[in-house]
Amino acid sequence: MTKNGITCKIDNLTVNLDPKRLEDNAINFVSHAHMDHLPKHGSGKVITSHETSMIANLRGVNILDSTHTIENFSMLDSGHILGAKGLFFEDIFYTGDISLRDRGFLRGSKIPKCKTLITECTFGKPEFIFPSIEEIVKYVNEIISDAYNRGKPVILLGYELGKAQLISHLFQHWDPLFYHDSIKRMNDLHIQLGVNLKNTVGHSEAESMGLLEKKPWVMITPNMSSKNAFILDMKKKYDAITIGFTGWAKSSRSFSSTDYTIPLSDHCDFNELMKLVKISGAEIIYTVHGFVDEFADELTKQGFYASSLQESSLDNFT
């Protein structure tokens, strides 16, 4: 681990995994387009997916993929968000952010056999076990149905990239359905990239047309607190019910201000993390991002050779 992120040196080859700054004379891998994984500066050879490049550009970060010009490096779907990839090279698999479960239009990741596994562990503690997608959809549909019966609109809150597109897909059968303007911008790009999402209007247009007066309705918005001016306005004008979606639903990081909080994540839960380690057959496991020490300790207790990633621990692999 370096100040620039994860750097792997193999003989004369340098590979930067989700670096903060792109470097010349190195291979730079960008796993997906969440802002904390996008490079802020620099130039150099980049491996990334076409979808990640397009989404990053929409978010103001210009990266071009050069996947077809780099041999012996394979990108594998990570199941996290659209375009998210893991990187397999030199018998090393770096997961990036990862999920094993199928969710809406997203397929769970298929884990390759490898000698060295570098895995995220955002939810790397046994307390984080998520319900099935089927259970979540059933429960949320019941909440929306009850709200509709009472004439109340419903706001579904999720991260602008990833969670918002998933809940747009899972609940697009509700009518009318509107998107917050920022979500519509991202959803329109996903539609352009082939994702099956309802093509509907943004909240500004819907309100200007008087469509929000005709209750009830469902709207997809980014994460916002109950004190956000937009949420306050929606509740005051339309008596809207809010449902927040987050893997932190049962922790101190949850949406404490939404009427309902649903444990839905684009990451592996604890059981899935254990499963991916076992499937990989890795001889060495490095944990990054999340409960790194806790998950490494749990793996060690179960007989794996594991440690949280420390500076220089990936140098000089042969």
CA–CA gap between residue 303 and residue 274 (Å, rounded): 12
- The yes-or-no verdict on residue 179 having pLDDT over 80 is yes
Q: Could you tell me what percent of the chain has a pLDDT over 70?
A: 94
Q: Name every residue whose Cβ is closer than 8 Å to that of residue 27 and which is 6 or more positions away in sequence.
A: 13, 14, 15, 16, 45, 47, 70, 73
Contacts of residue 268, Cβ cutoff 8 Å, sequence gap at least 6: 98, 99, 100, 120, 122, 123, 276
Q: Which two tokens stand for residue 32?
A: 């997906």
Judge whether 228 and 244 are in contact, CB under 8 Å: no
Q: Render the burial of 178-203: b for 16+ CB within 10 Å, e for the rest.
A: bbbeebbebbebbeeeebebbebbbb
Q: Is 275 exposed, middle or buried (0-12, 13-18, 19+ CB in 10 A)?
A: middle
Structure tokens at 260: 């309902």
- Residue 315, pLDDT > 50, answer no
Helix (H, G, I), strand (E, B) or coil at 139: helix
Whether the pLDDT of residue 229 is over 60: the answer is yes
List CB contacts of 300: < 8 A, sequence separation 6 or more: 306, 307
Contacts of 10 (CB under 8 A, 6+ apart): 90, 316, 317, 318
- CATH class for the domain made up of 133-262: alpha beta
Average pLDDT over residues 181-196: 98
Q: Which two tokens stand for residue 29?
A: 């891998």
**220 pLDDT more than 90:** yes
- Is the CATH code 3.40.30.10 the one for domain 6-127+267-308? no
Specify the pLDDT at position 115: 97
List, in sequence order, the alpha helices (H) in 89-180: 133-149, 163-170
As beta bridge partners, residue 7 has 16
Residue ranges covered by each domain of the chain: 6-127+267-308, 133-262
What pLDDT does 310 receive? 65
- Residue 242 DSSP SS3: strand
* Nearest Cα to Cα of residue 153 among 221, 213, 226: 213
- pLDDT tens, position by position, 47-83: 999 999 999 999 999 887 655 557 789 999 999 999 9
Residue 105 structure tokens: 């239009």
**Residue 70 has what pLDDT?**
72
Predicted confidence (pLDDT) per residue in 270-300, tens digit: 999 999 999 999 999 999 999 999 999 999 9
Per residue in 124-157, pLDDT (tens digit) is 999 999 999 999 999 999 999 999 999 999 999 9
CA separation, residue 175 to residues 4, 145, 217, 273, 278 (Å): 46, 11, 6, 37, 43
User: What pLDDT was estimated at residue 202?
Assistant: 97
Per-residue pLDDT at 15 exceeds 60 = yes
pLDDT of residue 44: 83
Q: Which of 27 and 253 is assigned the larger pLDDT?
A: 27
Q: Which two tokens stand for residue 198?
A: 């309802």
pTM, two decimals, is: 0.93
Asked if the domains at 6-127+267-308 and 133-262 fall in one CATH topology, the answer is: no
